[in-house]
Amino acid sequence: MSRRLGLFFTLFLSTSLLAGPAAASEWRILAQFDDAPEGLVDDGEGGFYVSLFHSGHVMQVAADGTVEQIADLRTVIGEAKGSTVGIDWDGEDTLYVAFSEYSKRFPWPAEAELSVEACGDATVTRSGLYAVTLSSGKVEPVVTRADGYPFCFPDDPVVASDGSIYLSDLSLKGIWKIDPEEKSAVLWSKDPLFDPAGKSLSGYPVGVNGIALAPDESALFGVTGGIPMLVKVPIEADGSAGKAEMLTFGYDNMDGLEVDPQGNFYLTETLRSEIWKVSPDAGRREQLGEPLQAPLGAPASLAFGDDSICVTNLNFFGHLPDDKARSIACRKLGPTLW
């Protein structure tokens, strides 16, 4: 073998080892629940706040995995059937929780192709954004369809530094901006890039799912499900949405998104149950986990622990055995490719 060819194989092997999926030993189950967890955000104390998909319960998980229920959306939404999805914390005493009510006429997600039609069901009134006061556990609606807003599938809220809230809408294929003090909302962005327009590559005719702000809040990033990609929406000087641009593609149905202080992106894929890290310029990516080597089953939301990245296992497609399902899985973050 020539010296040049030998060097090539050495570099290839080194890169492959660095870029390969995390070994099973790097992942651990932090906590399990009696319902599937979906939304996830750190609690500032080494633990997390978690929303449970079917029950409407909001939980707190300590750093040692101890689980405590802190609120119940059922005190406000009653027996409405739906998905309790993304959550975010204002850093003080309020958690914001998205809830999407199912339609009896056009069920979602049983028939994905009917998800948009479900948005037009006038009997659906509970979909929207809710506030949980942490000190009391009290739940109150912020904005919902009962207020006249045409929410379709409210999905992932993100609290900005000025207190306003961005909220993705999976089936409307848009992003709302909400003033929690005024209890008002505007459709901030419905960029064509969010909409598969009948040409879904994942099999699900949905739009933007997980969203996250840039560290300097100059842009809002999102992951899409119908035509899976990572997108950037500039935030203009007047607060309006700029034209969205694609940063990277080549994934399957995408769900969760987080951005670290250095601008790296962390993405979840639900169908392939994979976790990816993408460089700030979107030129490099590293797989942090996949189901053959990690306890991952339709991972949904992500959040950073003290030295770890953690995900909720929605297990939407039944990938995980019962002893690992309905869980939060975590792995320590170590050296990276860049």
Residue whose pair of structure tokens reads 């707190």 in the numeric block: 60
pLDDT score recorded for residue 116: 63
Per-residue pLDDT reduced to its tens digit, 254-300: 999 999 999 999 999 999 999 999 999 999 999 999 999 999 999 99
Q: Hey, what domains does the chain have and what are their CATH numbers? A: 38-190 (2.120.10.30), 206-338 (2.120.10.30)
Task: Encode burial over 260-276: b for 16+ CB neighbours within 10 A, e otherwise.
Answer: eeeebbbbbbbbebbbb
pLDDT of residue 331: 96
Give the per-residue pLDDT at 6.
43
The pLDDT, as a whole number, for residue 305 is: 93
HEC profile of the chain: CCHHHHHHHHHHHHHHHHHCCCCHHHEEEEEECCCCEEEEEECCCCCEEEEECCCCEEEEECCCCCEEEEEECHHHHCCCCEEEEEEEECCCCEEEEEEEECCCCCCCCCCHHHHHHHCCCCCCCCCEEEEEECCCCCEEEEEEHHHCCCCCCEEEEEECCCCCEEEEECCCCEEEEEECCCCEEEEEECCHHHCCCCCCCCCCCCCEEEEEECCCCCEEEEEECCCCEEEEEEECCCCCECCCEEEEECCCCEEEEEECCCCCEEEEECCCCEEEEECCCCCCEEEEECCCCCCCCCEEEEEECCCEEEEEECCCCCCCCCCCCCEEEEEECCCCCC
pLDDT at position 11 is 37
Distance (Å, whole) CA 164 – CA 121:
28
Task: Centre a 10 Å sphere on the Cβ of residue 147 and count the other Cβ atoms it contains.
Answer: 14
Give the pLDDT score at 140. 98
94-112 pLDDT, tens digit each? 999 999 998 877 665 555 5
Q: Whose CA is closest to 256, among 158, 325, 115?
A: 158
pLDDT at 205: 83
Q: What percent of the chain has pLDDT over 90?
A: 78
Q: What is the pLDDT of residue 58?
A: 98
pTM of the full structure: 0.91
Angle (CA) 167 170 176, round 5°: 25
Which parts of the chain have pLDDT scores under 70? 1-25, 106-118
